[in-house]
Structure 1
């Protein structure tokens, strides 16, 4: 792979990560602002099936994922 292609690949990866990071921030904000009694459902991977989930656990999981994405973006 040439240097030019490698830079384009990194740029594309960085743009994709930035977009996913924005989406993740929205999810965390939405979960953070839900009223306490609201139900949260998560979608099973590769399926159209949703399962009832614990709001605080789900929020913690998405926050961890957001932190991981931030670290990954800094490394790129």
Structure 2
């Protein structure tokens, strides 16, 4: 194996490791969100942030919780695939 190919392989491995660590961090954050939403009392209000914006809108707690759980499941599957 030439040194150029070895460097490409090492660089690819480093990128994959960095990607895996970033995804692991996002999974931890999502777990916290799911836990926080799960422990809220029924009468508490929940707001969701619009993507790429600082605007928040009133949201249904149940729908938000199920969407967050689905996101967490997708992240876990992606993590296993790496």
Q: TM-score range by the shorter chain?
A: over 0.9
Correspondence 1:11-22 to 2 at 5 A:
11-22=17-28
TM-score by length of 1: 0.98
2:55 paired with 1:46: no
Displacement of 1:5: 0.4
Q: Structure 2: where are the runs of 5+ without partners? A: 1-6
Give the match for residue 80 of structure 2. Answer: 74
Aligned residues: 76
SS of the aligned residue for 1:26 comes to: helix
Displaced runs of 4 or more, over 3 A: none
Displacement of 1:69: 0.2
- Rounded to whole Å, the distance in 2 between the matches of 1:40 and 1:46 is 19
Deviations 1:16-54 (A, max 9, x none): 000000000000000000001100000011111100000
SS of the aligned residue for 1:2 comes to: helix
The higher radius of gyration belongs to 2
Q: Structure 1: where are the runs of 5+ without partners? A: none
